Amino acid sequence: MGRLSGRSAVITGAASGIGRAAAKLFAAEGANMVVADRAEAVEETAEAIRAAGGKAVAVTGDAGDDAFVKSLVDRAIADHGGLDVFWANAGISGGFTPLAEQTADYWAEVLRVNLIGPFLAVKHASAAMIPNGKGAIICTASVAGIRSGAGGPAYSASKAGVISLVKTACNELYGTGIRINAIAPGLIETGMTKPIFDGARARGNEDRIGQLNPTTRYGHPEEIAAAGLFLASDEASYVNGQTLAVDGGLSTSHPVVRRKR
């Protein structure tokens, strides 16, 4: 019996990185999966789960779109008989555009995907969970949302919003039996961080990636997935409204190398 045996789970941003690792782990622990991403490679995630003996359906679409997010909840109910876990993991970095060159439209898109997307997940997932008196919602935040030094302004603001959303939604869902928590990853090798890793490797500096955190290394998607499994499981039955930093200790100080103007 796995920790999520017989449960139904949705994970967005599941075509690669943290989302794919989480989907495969949740399925291995017994969950019936709906995996979503705007990239068609999300079908590869579902195929891997099915090949391992699990149950999964893949759906492509925009995790910042109201109707699409609701459709994921509906699909979980139709295919798997209900919804027990929703992990709002999809996000975008927004790149490295200097602050002075950023526009309102640029900010709006980052916030739409990174913050409004999780809000929609909370809204629609909780509506399906409330009648059952239980459920777990997880949102992917970032150490960039905790303090400066780990991301650009728009990305950091969006992830700070996710941390606040988890706190406020936790209280909005008072007495429903639904738990909502966030994970704040540090530097993890994913598609989003690929330019950082590619640049370091091109310079021959791969061994220095992650040197600023006390664990002195970067993280892996599977390590974030394991934290998500804990929050989704009954082992976290008394954990609610929290943000769990999984960052090798980076957020204890957020040391940065200052750039000259």
| Cα–Cα nearest to 72, from 90, 50, 52, 92 | 90
What are the strands of the beta sheet with 135-140, ordered from one edge?
56-60, 32-37, 8-12, 85-88, 135-140, 178-185, 243-246
Distance CA 208, CA 120 (A): 38
What was the pLDDT predicted at 149?
79
Residues 63/112, Cβ–Cβ less than 8 Å: no
What was the pLDDT predicted at 256?
66
Average pLDDT over residues 167-178: 98
Active site residue 155: yes
Q: Report how far apart, in Å, the C-alpha atoms of 211 and of each of 35, 192, 254 are.
A: 33, 19, 11
For the chain, domains (ranges, CATH) are 8-247 (3.40.50.720)
Ranges assigned E (strand) in the chain: 8-12, 32-37, 56-60, 85-88, 135-140, 178-185, 243-246
What was the pLDDT predicted at 214?
86
Catalytic residue among 106, 155, 174, 218: 155
What backbone phi and psi angles, to 5 degrees, belong to 185?
-70, 150
What backbone phi and psi angles, to 5 degrees, belong to 43?
-65, -30
What backbone phi and psi angles, to 5 degrees, belong to 57?
-125, 145
Average pLDDT over residues 228-249: 97
Q: What is the pLDDT of residues 32-58, one digit of tens each?
A: 999 999 999 999 999 999 999 999 999
What was the pLDDT predicted at 203?
72
Residue type, 154: A
Residue type, 40: E
